[in-house]
Every structure is written in C-alpha cells, then in structure tokens.
Amino acid sequence: MKIAVCVKRVPDSEARIKIGADKTSIDESGVKLVLNPYDEYAVEEALKLKEAAGSGEVVIVSVGSEAAQETIRTALAMGADRGVLLEADAVGLDPLPVARALATELKDGGYDLILFGKIASDDYSHAVGVMVAELLGLPCASAAIKLEIADGKGRAEREIEGGVEVVEFALPAVVTADKGLNEPRYPALRGIMMAKKKPLEVKDAALDAGGVEILQLTLPAERKEGRIVGEGADAVPALVDALRNEAKVL
Amino acid sequence: MANVIAVLEQRDGTLKRVSREVLTAARTLADAMDGEAHALVIGPSGVSGDGLGEYGADKVFVAADDALALYQSDLYAATTADVVQGGDYGVVILAATAMGKDLAPRVAARLGCTLATDVTAIQYDGGVVVTRPVYAGKAVYRLKLTGAPSVVSLRPNAVAPEQNAKAGAVEATSVAGGPARATTVEVKQPDRAALDVAEASVVVSGGRGLKGAEHFKLIEDLAAAVGGAVGASRAVVDAGWRSHAEQVGQTGKTVSPSLYFAVGISGAIQHLAGIRTAKVIVAINKDPDAPIFKVADYGIVGDLFEIVPRLTEEIKKVKEG
Amino acid sequence: MAGRLIPADHQPPLPRDQLVLTEAPGEERIDVDVVFVGAGPAGLAGAIHLAQLVKQGNEAGDGPGDVSIGVLEKAASLGEHCLSGAVINPRPFRELFPDLQDSDFPFGSRVEKESVYLLSAKRARRIPTPPTMKNHGNYAVSICEVVRWLGERAGELGVDVFAGFPAGALLTEGDRVTGVRTVPSGLDRDGNEMSNYMPPADIVAKVTALSEGTRGMLAQAYFEWQAISSENPQIYALGVKELWELERPLDRVIHTMGWPLPNDAFGGSWMYPLEPKVVSLGLVVGLDYPYQTLDVHDLLQRLKQHSLFEQYLRGGELVEWGAKTIPEGGYYAIPERLSGDGVVILGDSAGFVDVPSLKGIHYAVQSGMYAARAIYEALKADDTSRARLGEYDRLVSGSYIRDDLYRTRNMRPAFKSGFWKGGIKAALMSLTGGRFPGKRIDMEEDAAAPRRPGSAEPVVSDNKLTFSKVDAVFKAGNATRDTIPQHLIVGEDVPAELAEFYAHMCPAGVYEVSDGKLVVNAPNCVDCKATDVVGPRWTPREGGAGPSYKRM
C-alpha cells in the first residue's frame, strides 16, 4: 500500500501564547514546536495499514519552513519511509494555497490513500485535507474516528451531532483523522536513530499569496466579572432565564 | 453590490436551529454590502424552504432529492457550487457544524476562493472581515478576506437568530448530477453511550461536593436534560467515583463547551485551566468563597442536592416548551 | 507514639536490584561509543566537548575515527526538567566556545547591582554582601534556555540527543558499566501494557557518563554498588522557585536571609532579574530542618508577602513554578572516586556545588569538559578502564572546582550550630580563606535529623500573589497522565506523624494525610528529589512525565 501523510509543525498545545511585536503573529521565542497532534493519528494509521498489508511505503509530506524537517523526522522515527518538505517561509492563513501545493506534489505519486489530521492545533481550519481531495478529484471522509480499508475500498466513521456517519468510498481516497482513530506509537530509540538516515527531499512550495489578510492578532477578552444569581433552589428560574436570554446558551 | 448566500442545514427534513443563526448573519452582511440575502436548503424531497423570509431571506433555493436525505459530501458540494456560480455572491456562509466543517472547504476548493472557518463574528468593513479564535482559544485573529466570493463557516451559538421579515421567495433548484465519490450510507447511534466530554458543547461536571459516586446520578440527569456530557474533577476521578475519560483539567481534558456547569467543584487552577475557553460557566457550590465563583459567569450558592434537581426540572421545561 | 520522628527510620533502601543489572543487553538495543545520561549543562557540555575533540583529532590525522555520542534526557524535550536560580559564572562557556563572545551566549542581564538583606517579619535590613556572594560580572540566566542552546550546539556537532528517554538502570558486566536501560512507556497504573506500550531499550556504550543532576539515581546506585564513600554524607537543600512577569522593573540581584526561616533551618532566598521585568525568585532550605511541619512552598508564599518582594510582585503575573533539590555537602561530600570501568560521574551528581556562592552550573559545565578530555584519550587508547578514566578525577582535583570547594568546605556544615553561630564561623572562614575553622565538621545525612512536632498555619492563597501547591504544580507545566504507574517506593506502615512530615516536605503536594493515612498523588511529582532524600524513594517514570519548565 502506498500512503502519503501530510503533516504540520505547530506550537505545543500547552504553550503560553504571547502576541508578537507586529501584532499579527505569535511571539515564537521559547515556544516548543511539535508534530500536530491530529497528524499523529494520521501517521499511526498509515503505519498500521502498511503493516497490515505487509508491504508498501509511507511518505510524509509537509508544507513549512526549513525547521519543519525536524517534524518530518519525528514521523520518520515513528516508522515512515521517506519525507518531502515543500519549503515556504511564510504560510498564510488561507488554506487553498497550501492545498494546491500539496495537490501538485501528490498528484502523480500513485498513492492509494492520502491521510491528514482533521485540523491543525494552531489554526483549527479543518480545511486543507478536504481541499486537497477536491483538487485531486478524490473521495474524502473527514474527521474519521474509525477507518477500515479492504479490497480497494474504504469505510470510515465520523462523529456528527448526536450520531455517527458511515461513509463508503473506493480507493484512491483522502481521509482526515480525528482523535480516537488510534493510539499513536511513541518513536523508539532505534527509530529515532534510523530516521536520520531516511531520505528527506526539500523542494520549493511556490505558494501563492492567498486571500486572507491578517489585520490583527489579540489575546481573548478577559472574562467579564460574573455574578451570583441567588441562593438555593429558588434562584434556579433566574439562572435559567439568564442562560436563555442573556448568555443565549440554552 | 453583492449578495450573500447562507447554506442551511436540515436533519430529517427539518431545518436545524443553527440555520437561523447563519441566515441572520447573512442578512446583516447583505445589508452592509447593499445586497440580497439568499438561502440554500439541500435535503430530501419534501424539505421546505418556507418561513425563511422571517429571518431575512430574500430568496430561498431548495434542492430536494431523496438521495440527499443524509449529507452526501460530493453532491452537496457540487450543488452548492452550482448555485453560487449561478449568482453574484460576495460571501457564502455555512454553519461550522460537522457538516459545515466538511462542506465549506469543498465549496471553497471547487470555486477556488478564500476560506475562513469557525468564525465567531463576520462584518463588512470595506471588505469581509471575520474574527476567529485560534490556538485552542488562546488568541483571536481579525482577518480581511479578499476575492469573490469568500466562503465562511460560522461557529454555532456565535450569532443569535434575529427576525427580519423579507420576501423569502422559494425557488426549486436542481441537484448536481455527481459523481458521488464517497457515499454516506447511514447515520448510526454512537458506540459510546455518552458524549465525549472534550467534544461536547455542553458539559456538566461534578466535584467532591457530591459526596459520593452514587450521587453522580444528579449530574447525569442534568447532563441528559441539557443534552450535554458528564465531566468530573480530578479529585472525584482519583477517588474512583468516575472514570478518567470524564476528567476535566489537570491531565484530564481541556474542554471548550458553550456551557459548562461546575457542580460541587471548588475551582482549583488546574480545573479552571481545563475550562478556560468555555463560553459560559455556571457554578453551584455551598461555599460562597469557593474560587470557582471568581471565574464563573453565573453562580448559585447553596445546597446542590436541592439546586441541581430543580435546575434539571426547569431546563427540561425549556427544552420541551 | 513516643520516640523521636526520624525520617531515616522509615525510608526504604535504594532499590539496587532494580538499578544495577547484570543480565546481558536485550534485543531492543542500540550501540553508541559514549552515552551521557541527562541533558543538563554537564552532560551537554561533555558531549559537545567530546565531539569537538574528536573532530579536531580526526582533522589532524590522529583522532579515534567516527565516535557516536548519545545524550539521554528523561524530559520530553530539553530543559523541561531543568531548574536553577541562576546567576552563572561564564568562564567555562568561554573555554568551550572560544570563538564566541559573551553576547552570543543565551544569558540574561549582566549583574550590576546586588543587595543582601536580613529579613524580619516587618523589615528588611541591608547587610554588606558577603565576599562569597559577589556576582559582579556574572549573568542572570534561565538554565532552560542555556540547556536548549547547548542542545542545538550539540546537534550541530552530530551528537544524538534523545529526549523522552529516562535511564532506569545500569547495565553491568563484572565491575564494568556497559550502558543503561531505559524506562518502558505505555504502562497503566497496575503495570499492564497499554496499546502504545514501548519496551525498555538498552543503550550499550564504551563509556557511560552519568550527568543526572541532583540526587542522580544511577550515580547513587553506582557509588553504593562499588562501595565508594565520601568523608561526609551528601546533604541537600530544597529550592522552590517562581518565575514572574512584573509591572515594576527590578535592577539588582537580591539575596535574603532570616525570616521566614527559623534560626535552626539553613537557607535563604533570592530574586534575580532575567530581564528588568522578568524575575526568578525562590527560597532554599536545607532538608535537615528540625521541624515536622516546615513547608518550603508555604514559606515562599509567605516570603512574597514581605514588602521587599511584594513591592515588585504587585500587579505582576506568576508565569512558572518549580522545585529542585541542591546538593550542599561541598568538598567533604564528594565521593572519593568519580570514575570507574566504563563510567564517569559529572556535575551535581558528583556534588559540585558551592553553597556560599550558590553556584553549580559552571562547575557542571567544567566537569563535563574534563570528562570529555578523559574519555577522548581513553577512546584513542581503546582503554576505558577505571585506571584510564581516572584521568577525569585527576583533572577535577587539579582544577578550580576542587580549589573553590575546598576553600568553602566547612561553611555549610558550620550552620549546624544555628544561624548566628554559623554566621560567625562562616565569616571567619571567609576572612581566612577557609583556613579557620579548618577541620572537617562532621555531618549526618538529612534523613537522620529528628523532626520536632509543630503546627502549621498555611498561607491562604489568593491566586494573585500566593498560590496553593495544587495550582503551583499546574504552573510547573505538569501534564503527567494520571494513569501512570506509581513511581515512589513508600516504606511500610507510615505513621501518621511521618505522613504529616511528608505532606509538608513535598512542594508539589504528592503526599497528603487523609484519616491519619498517607495518600500518594504520584502524578503531581515534579522530580525535585526531596522525597528521595528524606522520604519515599524516587524512581524514574516514563519519558515526558513530570514538569515542563520553559524558562526556569
């Protein structure tokens, strides 16, 4: 099975976010950068499928700066075979240019399956994987919590409000992975050492500018002072009223 | 002058509440852009576009076919793209629901246009300007979108539906032919009995104030009434009353619901860090000095054993009525 | 219960069978030439210098050929388990990187002004800076930043740094150390393998350099196994530290003594500006304090309420919190031999800390460099025996590490007599360059010190200036999964009054007393090692468990 997994280098989710001096990006000093946690599910799934098939290749592709090579190496340490970095110093917020660059790279790769994490934990766009599928004219199941591949066909389950959607498709296909799809393996020491020797090609991403202009990046507003609505069970109607009409959450 | 089109969502032939939010947002935007607000309803035969004028739709397109009863990604995307291309639209708005999160990027890719997802506000200010949270809610972007149209998905509960009577003229539109590369074959009940606390939009959490595992029934009942997931503080999980899967905060989960109830939870920082991005926090605790009250938007001081059953009752009334 | 409360009575012994393995390496095995255990300043400086020597030697034509150098680090990434004050003496950095300027190093502001205060509850009386504490010309640093920077330099030189891999045992053959075995990951609370279980791996090396930092597990095991002793036992202090962002800038290094410490507890506090508005502050207390309920975290919260500190902290924000022990035994507590067949011991694990000047990082770096030289010659001679690696001990004894520690050899022990008498003795030592009083002062290990019962009035935290332990642990970035196996070895039948002592001793709230019984919240542990010194024994957990310090 030939599988491509697209990954992204993102700030660690525990990182304390500070706004940079330009007020349109975060201050990256001291921020730990890691493999997007949702991409870990995708890498793990690819490795499991290759292992089940007995043969094949798992290729890691990423759009990012030169440092993203480290992230690709992490996936190689987990067991992937080779990597491709589409180098771009500035990746804007518009998902389409990134999707186009990936689609161009993946188009003639002969992949049976292309996997993504459903979202990146920095921008939460939930877009690139699905867009790549559209650009390549492939079926796509997004946010999969379960995936079965057999005889050139796939079956994915995805969580929707109050239920689980079951989607069927034929390969080749694109699937984006959600939490719960699997339990990603830790890279073993030997894997880390071998990853250094696996091939990693660097190409120019040639991203176009995209249509999103960043006006400002700010910290969220301080929570407003709350209020005690009352005492005891008698205060309940007032609370319910506030939740409905003031907070508009009921 | 450009129009705005809202792509609405239905379930079993009935429009979901979130559709009215999206339509309201479209109306507001259309007024700012000096254009019309249209709506697109895709669903099974018999799905109705009536009554949408009430929420500001000038025109409503209805693409009805039994094949579209469940969300079919390729057919929905193709149909939407056709309708958008058939008009002069500046913005396409969807709700950032499970469907919207899948459909919006497809439409944007097909049309080759700019996409902004999960926005909490959308305005027109010499161009389409959106606000969207990032880094798990730790920072917020204000972005200007260029190119026409732009595709935007709106976070549920970000905009309150507003009535604004317009013509709401219904027009049938054709369903795109295909191909359907992926097929949704069914929607089944989730394997897990309960909602995952990390994904739920409403969470009801119980702490040590509940005094015992057996009393957690109160939390479960309230969670069921409000349609939410059950959460637990670390103290309760450590005591073995609830499973680790429900733990919120301090190595349990970080949750980001619209509504979070902290019942009998004092509010140590690690729990609060787990709920910092919750939109609205309600605290119920017998200690008026409990730290949770400093973070809660609303609170009731008193005996949770009396308050919670009453709250469950009142919420059931609201949901039914 | 009658009788004195002595922590040593209930301390389990070092689990030697677990820490010193005699079996052959298993299938999960990698081979390197040299492995450094612990990516702190000592381990990284050692790896860097060794790589430099190998490169220079090979380029000159008389090198040992390819040498694979690995560094193991238990934290998920470099620096996350490192914590220090710190004001650093840059001397060994300049030696390690002769082509760089001070401005190239990851240091904070240079120390220009400093003040020492004797505190009482209401006042702060400035006293002349003791000569041992003068810091002019030194730099305030975050050890996390220093370590990350050193890690990058190591990577550039081809050193393999493996983060997330704690070493759990020594591999041995006869008296030789042949490598280390890592701790498995993916086990549940009951020790069962979960779906992402990773078995232990054996790293086999010609030389194992133990640079585990304070109270290193494997270093302790090696010394005990090989019956290597020191004239005095090693003693420790517990430091609890906070990192704050201020509204009001701080322009000087501050040290205090006295309040809130009782006279018979050794210690003091510090506040250093990393930048004018980013300060490191904390309190250090010797673990031989004679009280059951002394609580260092709590005393630090109290200290912050003193106007000397409060005036700076008001309106500021607590960014990080952490804790770590410091070896304080000095010259007489350094083991008689720091090398053996296939092994050398570096930095804090060897006890290279000078208490009066509160310095240890530069000794760690220097010791790493000496180890590298000894290892380099050993590799070239293809002889990594105790005799050959003993060159490391010779380099250390002939260096300023030994001279500095010898000069202050009795200062900390002098404080056994209490604050005032100790202060006088210390002053005399300073004046006479250590010659008087010169004879070694006997010390006993911390756990042997009896603890008097007391009552504690903990500070009620306001979450603005003062914080509870539970909140503090969160600020340490501790995201250890709650289902991790228990890593602490607790003695049997811990009496209630000892449980009480543990609860106050641990800064992270690992120990609690509930209904007179000891409750252990092991995931809270931030690996400070205080427990290993006076309480339940500490063992390493799976990689990445523990705190996640960013700028401590």
pLDDT tens by residue, C359-375: 999 999 999 999 999 99
CA distance C550 to chain A (A): 7
C462 occurs within a structural domain: no
Helix (H, G, I), strand (E, B) or coil at B140: strand
Most confident of A101-115, C4-18, C402-416, C424-438: A101-115
CA distance B200 to B196: 6
CA distance B228 to B225: 8
A121 occurs within a structural domain: yes
In sequence order, the β-bridge partners of residue C250 are none
Examine the pLDDT at C437 and tell me if it is beyond 80. Answer: no
Q: Which chains touch B (3 or more CB pairs under 8 A)?
A: A, C
- Domain of A225? 220-250
Measured between beta carbons, the chain A residues lying within 8 angstroms of B283 are: 226
Residue A113 in contact with residue A147, Cβ under 8 Å? no
C132 occurs within a structural domain: no
Measured between beta carbons, the chain B residues lying within 8 angstroms of C478 are: 251
Residue A242 in contact with residue A229, Cβ under 8 Å? yes
CA dist list (Å): B242 to B247, B249, B296, C552: 8, 14, 23, 35
CA distance C510 to C522: 6
Over range C231-241, report the average pLDDT: 95
A84 and A46 co-located in one domain: yes
Residue B140 in contact with residue B134, Cβ under 8 Å? yes
CA distance B299 to chain A (A): 4
Examine the pLDDT at C376 and tell me if it is beyond 50. Answer: yes
% of chain C exceeding 70 in pLDDT: 95
Q: How confident is the model at residue C2 (pLDDT cuts 50, 70, 90)?
A: low
Answer yes or no: same fold for B3-172 and B202-320. Answer: yes
Q: What is the CATH number of the domain that holds C42?
A: 3.50.50.60
Joined tokens for residue A191? 């894997």
Measured between beta carbons, the chain B residues lying within 8 angstroms of A180 are: 196
Instruction: Tell me the average pLDDT of chain C.
Output: 92
Q: Which of A63, A182, A205 is nearest to A120 (CA)?
A: A63
Instruction: Report which residue type is found at C423.
Output: G
C44 and C62 co-located in one domain: yes
Joined tokens for residue B254? 């970080």
- For chain A, say whether C152 makes contact (Cβ under 8 Å): no
Joined tokens for residue C506? 């641990």
In sequence order, the β-bridge partners of residue B182 are A169
CA distance B275 to B298: 15
Instruction: Report which residue type is found at B72.
Output: Q
Number of H helices, E strands in chain B: 8, 18
Task: Look up the CATH superfamily of B202-320.
Answer: TPP-binding domain (3.40.50.1220)
- For chain B, say whether C473 makes contact (Cβ under 8 Å): yes
Specify burial of residue C61 (Cβ count, 10 A radius: 0-12, 13-18, 19+).
exposed
- Calculate helix-pair angle for B73-85, B98-111, nearest 10 degrees: 50
Nearest-CB residue to C468 (from B244, B268, B273): B268
Examine the pLDDT at C469 and tell me if it is beyond 50. Answer: yes
* Residues 6+ positions from C75 with CB-CB distance below 8 Å: C81, C82, C163, C164, C543, C544, C546, C548
Residue C53 in contact with residue C372, Cβ under 8 Å? yes
In sequence order, the β-bridge partners of residue C237 are C286, C326
C6 occurs within a structural domain: no
Task: Decide if A250 and B288 are in contact by the 8 Å CB cutoff.
Answer: no
Q: Going by DSSP bridges, is the β-strand pair C185-187/C193-198 parallel, antiparallel, or unpaired?
A: antiparallel
pTM for the predicted model, two decimal places: 0.89
CA dist list (Å): A208 to A91, A101, A202, C145: 9, 9, 18, 36
Which of these three, C422, C440, C458, is where a domain ends? C440
CA distance C472 to chain B (A): 9
**Quick check: bond before C276 cis, omega within 30?**
no
Examine the pLDDT at C460 and tell me if it is beyond 90. Answer: no
Backbone angles phi, psi at A148, to 5 degrees: -125, 130
A69 occurs within a structural domain: yes
Nearest-CB residue to B141 (from A160, A173, A217): A217
pLDDT digits (tens, 9 = 90+) for A146-174: 999 999 999 999 988 778 999 999 999 99
CA distance C261 to C303: 9
Q: How many CB atoms lie within 10 A of CB B279?
A: 19
C220 occurs within a structural domain: yes
Handedness of CA C198, C202, C207, C213 (dihedral sign): positive
pLDDT digits (tens, 9 = 90+) for C7-36: 999 999 999 999 999 999 998 899 999 999
* CB-facing half-sphere around the CA of A100: CA atoms within 13 A: 18
Nearest CA in chain C to A44: C196
* Residues 6+ positions from C25 with CB-CB distance below 8 Å: C171, C178, C179, C181, C202, C204
CA dihedral C474, C480, C485, C490 (to 10 degrees): -30
Residue extents of the structural domains in chain B: 3-172, 202-320
C113 occurs within a structural domain: no
Number of structural domains found in chain C: 2
Q: How confident is the model at residue C147 (pLDDT cuts 50, 70, 90)?
A: very high
Residue A218 in contact with residue B140, Cβ under 8 Å? yes
CA distance B154 to B150: 13
Examine the pLDDT at C189 and tell me if it is beyond 80. Answer: yes
In sequence order, the β-bridge partners of residue B62 are B41, B172
A209 occurs within a structural domain: no
A194 occurs within a structural domain: yes
CA distance C110 to C23: 51
A78 occurs within a structural domain: yes
Examine the pLDDT at C518 and tell me if it is beyond 60. Answer: yes
A110 occurs within a structural domain: yes
C416 and C394 co-located in one domain: no
- The yes/no answer on whether domain B3-172 falls in CATH 3.40.50.620 is yes
Q: How confident is the model at residue C544 (pLDDT cuts 50, 70, 90)?
A: confident
CA dist list (Å): A44 to A60, A71, A76, A78, A98: 12, 15, 11, 8, 23
Task: Decide if C483 and B270 are in contact by the 8 Å CB cutoff.
Answer: no
Examine the pLDDT at A209 and tell me if it is beyond 50. Answer: yes
Over range C281-300, report the average pLDDT: 95
C400 and C417 co-located in one domain: no
Over range A26-54, report the average pLDDT: 94
CA distance A229 to chain C (A): 23
Examine the pLDDT at C263 and tell me if it is beyond 90. Answer: no
C269 occurs within a structural domain: no
CA distance C64 to C50: 11
Q: Which of C240, C195, B256 is nearest to A181 (CA)?
A: C195
C387 occurs within a structural domain: yes
CA distance C377 to C54: 10
Of the given ranges (B125-129, C138-142, C192-196, C218-222), which has the lowest mean pLDDT? C192-196
Examine the pLDDT at A47 and tell me if it is beyond 60. Answer: yes
Beta strands in chain A, from DSSP E residues, in sequence order: 2-7, 9-11, 33-35, 57-64, 82-87, 113-117, 140-150, 153-160, 163-170, 173-177, 200-204, 212-218, 227-231
Q: Give the pLDDT confidence score for residue C419 in this predicted structure.
A: 63
Q: How confident is the model at residue C1 (pLDDT cuts 50, 70, 90)?
A: very low
A197 and A131 co-located in one domain: yes
**Quick check: bond before A199 cis, omega within 30?**
no
Nearest-CB residue to B142 (from A124, A139, A215): A215
CA distance C271 to C179: 40
C66 occurs within a structural domain: yes
pLDDT digits (tens, 9 = 90+) for C62-98: 999 999 999 999 999 999 999 998 999 999 999 999 9
Over range C389-417, report the average pLDDT: 88
Joined tokens for residue B116? 């902004």
N residues, chain C = 552
pLDDT digits (tens, 9 = 90+) for C319-332: 999 999 999 999 99
% of chain A exceeding 90 in pLDDT: 77
A29 and A92 co-located in one domain: yes
CA distance C37 to C42: 10
Joined tokens for residue A133? 């599928």
Task: Decide if A183 and C195 are in contact by the 8 Å CB cutoff.
Answer: yes
A108 occurs within a structural domain: yes
CA dihedral C71, C74, C78, C82 (to 10 degrees): -110
Examine the pLDDT at C155 and tell me if it is beyond 50. Answer: yes
Q: Give the pLDDT confidence score for residue C454 in this predicted structure.
A: 80
- Domain of C151? 31-100+144-187+195-233+331-407
Q: Buried b / exposed e across B107-136, counting CB within 10 Å, b at 16+?
A: bbbbbebbbbbbbbebebeebbbbbbbbbb
C381 and C416 co-located in one domain: no
Nearest-CB residue to C196 (from A14, A184, A190): A184
Greater confidence, A246 or C518?
C518
Over range A110-121, report the average pLDDT: 96
Name the stretches of chain B with pLDDT < 70.
1, 190-195, 250-254, 268-270, 273, 321
Residues 117-136 of A with CB under 8 A from B: 121-128, 130-131, 133-135
Examine the pLDDT at C192 and tell me if it is beyond 50. Answer: yes
C424 and C345 co-located in one domain: no
Q: Which of B87, B86, B44, B48 is nearest to B65 (CA)?
A: B44
Residue A205 in contact with residue A88, Cβ under 8 Å? yes
Q: Which of A15, A68, A22 is nearest to C551 (CA)?
A: A15
Instruction: Report which residue type is found at A44.
Output: E
Joined tokens for residue C156? 């550039």
Q: What is the CATH number of the domain that holds A38?
A: 3.40.50.620
Q: How many CB atoms lie within 10 A of CB B180?
A: 17
Q: Give the pLDDT confidence score for residue A138 in this predicted structure.
A: 97
CA dihedral C248, C252, C255, C258 (to 10 degrees): -60
CA distance A20 to chain B (A): 12
Number of structural domains found in chain A: 2
A115 and A227 co-located in one domain: no
Joined tokens for residue B283? 């605290």
CA distance C134 to B102: 64
- Calculate helix-pair angle for C361-380, C400-407, nearest 10 degrees: 140
Chain A residues at the C interface, defined by Cβ less than 8 Å, are 14, 16, 30, 32, 183-186, 188-190, 192-193, 196
CA dihedral C42, C43, C44, C45 (to 10 degrees): 40
Task: Decide if C475 and B269 are in contact by the 8 Å CB cutoff.
Answer: yes
